[in-house]
């Protein structure tokens, strides 16, 4: 439950603060009750922050970050407003680390191999990056972000493990290769 998580997080934060360590809290947003606890994401985060704030003064901290994963229609600057609505009452200065951002739920048809997809990716990521609350954006699961694809050097290449006739010559050499999206990201 969020209160249990907050208690354990507070123990860690209290113990490591003297060392100058920075901290990150997982944040989710939404009103659906589809979490394992049957709480909405908004309720879970609100309860977690309320409980954590009882021990840690989040209003005065700049070393505690919120971690966001953004998917599909969530990869836009407006999504930050949904997080701010829940977070700001407890931590008005909190900045966010975006550790995953997929612009689509599916890569069926290998759209990541096209310039059109790369430009869509660039526009959406730039929109998110335009928000001052975003401290940094990282990819922690590279293939899911359509930035790279793998080729076995014979038949299969792409993130989704399918053959694609658009990949020929050097693009089929064994190993990792940048997609057009990867070139934009680079």
Provide the whole-model pTM.
0.83
38-88 residue pLDDT tens: 999 999 999 999 999 999 999 999 999 999 988 888 888 999 999 999 999
Q: Which residue has the higher pLDDT, 159 or 14?
A: 14
59-70 residue pLDDT tens: 999 999 999 988
Mean pLDDT of 125-141: 87
Contact 132, 173 (CB under 8 A): no
Residues 6+ apart with CB under 8 A from 108: 160
> Is residue 180's pLDDT more than 70?
yes
100-131 residue pLDDT tens: 888 887 878 888 889 999 999 899 989 999 99
> Is residue 184's pLDDT more than 70?
yes
Confidence of residue 143 (pLDDT cuts 50, 70, 90): low
- The torsion angles phi and psi of 130, rounded to 5 degrees, stand at -70, -15
86-101 residue pLDDT tens: 999 999 999 999 988 8
Helix, strand, coil in percent for the chain, rounding step 5: 40, 20, 40
> Is residue 186's pLDDT more than 90?
no
Contact 172, 157 (CB under 8 A): yes
Sign of torsion over alpha carbons 72, 77, 80, 82: negative
Mean pLDDT of 127-156: 83
> Is residue 162's pLDDT more than 80?
no
List, edge to edge, every strand of the sheet that includes 134-137.
23-26, 64-71, 96-102, 134-137
Which CA distances in Å does 95 have to 26, 32, 66, 130, 148? 12, 24, 6, 13, 28
> Is residue 33's pLDDT more than 70?
yes
Question: In whole angstroms, what is the distance from residue 113 CA to residue 22 CA?
Answer: 37
Residues 6+ apart with CB under 8 A from 101: 69, 70, 71, 75, 124, 125, 128, 137, 139, 145
Question: In whole angstroms, what is the distance from residue 23 CA to residue 156 CA?
Answer: 40
Contact 76, 128 (CB under 8 A): yes
Mean pLDDT of 26-32: 88
Question: In whole angstroms, what is the distance from residue 106 CA to residue 5 CA?
Answer: 32
Mean pLDDT of 149-175: 83
- Per-residue pLDDT at 12: 97
């Amino acid at each position: 439950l969020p209160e249990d998580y907050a208690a354990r997080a507070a123990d860690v934060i209290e113990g490591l603060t003297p060392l100058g360590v920075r901290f990150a809290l997982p944040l989710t947003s939404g009103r659906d009750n589809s979490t394992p606890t049957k709480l909405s994401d908004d309720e879970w985060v609100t309860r977690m922050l309320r409980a954590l704030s009882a021990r840690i003064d989040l209003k005065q901290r700049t070393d505690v970050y919120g971690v966001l994963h953004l998917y599909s229609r969530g990869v836009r600057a407006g999504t930050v407003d949904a997080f701010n609505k829940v977070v700001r009452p407890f931590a008005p200065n909190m900045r966010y680390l975006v550790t995953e951002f997929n612009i689509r739920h599916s890569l069926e048809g290998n759209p990541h191999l096209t310039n059109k997809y790369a430009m869509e990716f660039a526009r959406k990521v730039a929109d998110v990056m335009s928000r001052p609350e975003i401290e940094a954006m990282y990819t922690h699961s590279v293939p899911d972000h359509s930035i790279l694809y793998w080729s076995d050097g014979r038949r299969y290449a792409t993130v989704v493990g399918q053959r694609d006739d658009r990949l020929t010559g050097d693009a089929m050499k064994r190993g990792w290769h940048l997609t057009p999206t990867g070139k934009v990201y680079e």
